[in-house]
Amino acid sequence: MNVRTILFPIDFSSVASNALDFAAQVARQLGANLLLLHANNQPYSAPARSSDNIPIESVNNTLINEKLNSVLGDVQLRYGISCHTHIEEGRPEQIIPEVAEKSQVDLIIMGTQGFVENEKLPTDSLTTRVMEKTNLPLLVIPQDARYDSLSHWLYAFENLDKEKIVMEKVFRLAASLKARVELLHVKTNRQDGDEGNLALSKINGQLPDVSAGYKVISGDNVLEGLSHYIDESQPDLLVMSRHDRSFVDRVFKRDIVKTAANQINFPLLVLHG
């Protein structure tokens, strides 16, 4: 998985500000270009400051440009990376996938408020709406996450045959970031537990620089077991494939997993098979 351009939607909130540190750090490690995108959903609303005889939309775009250029200068100074800005008018859930496709983006990184206990479902968030509209890899950063290092990845998979292409992408990206990947085989019956070992042997043969491990979760309640294992192992990053959307959807519809994710505050990388 070769990442040359990273798209980062920015709305100047504290959530986006926190996630920007992750985006810039990852871009620096990968030598990638960072594209800061602001989706202006209210181009004709009242301007932030008055200006006589100047159209409202012109004032708003000028102010947004000023903010973007300020962020751009700070990112370039602090991280020394290639960084550009872009403004597009429209709904963020539509603009983000469209700009990502037009700009030939390889990875989208987004900040999110995270999973709040007792909320109905996280499916109403901007992040999950974008996830439904793009097949690009999406790295989600909860607002309370703090960048230290993304050195321990946990990749939970169900079926090696369906996910082997995604798995290879994960390991290649992890190698670029010098991260260790732990495979977590999720099963609900007494099936053979050698699938993960087989995956490791194949991957180690193809990618000798990869550092990896393998665990099995057994039991009737896989989702609860996954939540407990995440809480126990404290990964820096959870990786999941959306080859089977029902699997991801089932995970995020469980309060116990939402609660665990909220408490651990770890980033999530979603890839499409």
Q: Please tell me the distance from the alpha carbon of residue 164 to that of residue 273, in angstroms, as a whole number.
A: 9
The answer to whether 56 and 46 are in contact (CB under 8 A) is yes
pLDDT (tens, 9 = 90+) of the chain, 273 residues, equals 789 999 999 999 888 999 999 999 999 999 999 999 999 886 544 444 444 443 434 446 788 889 999 999 999 999 999 999 999 989 999 999 999 999 999 999 999 876 554 444 444 478 878 888 899 999 999 888 888 788 999 988 777 677 778 888 888 899 888 899 988 876 666 555 555 566 666 666 555 566 677 777 776 666 666 777 888 888 889 888 876 555 555 555 543 334 444 445 678 898 886
For residue 100, give the amino acid letter: A
Look up the pTM and report it. 0.81
Q: In this predicted model, what pLDDT tens digit does every residue of 16-43 receive, in sequence order?
A: 999 999 999 999 999 999 999 999 886 5
Helices 195-206 and 160-176 cross at an angle (nearest 10°) of 40
Residue 84 CA: distances (Å) to CA of 46, 58, 195, 223: 27, 21, 43, 40
What's the CATH code, domain 152-271? 3.40.50.620
For every residue of 172-189, DSSP letters joined together read HHHHHTT-EEEEEEE-SS
Confirm whether 5-142 and 152-271 share one CATH topology: yes
Q: In this predicted model, what pLDDT tens digit does every residue of 129-144 receive, in sequence order?
A: 888 889 999 999 988 8
In three-state secondary structure terms, 196 is: helix
Q: Please tell me the distance from the alpha carbon of residue 226 to that of residue 229, in angstroms, as a whole number.
A: 5
Q: In this predicted model, what pLDDT tens digit does every residue of 166-183 receive, in sequence order?
A: 888 888 899 888 899 988
- The CATH H-level superfamily of 5-142 is HUPs (3.40.50.620)
Q: Supply the DSSP symbol for 47.
A: P
In the chain, where are the structural domains located? 5-142, 152-271
Query: Which residues lie below 8 Å from residue 114, measured CB to CB, with a gap of 6+?
Result: 142, 143, 144, 261, 262, 265
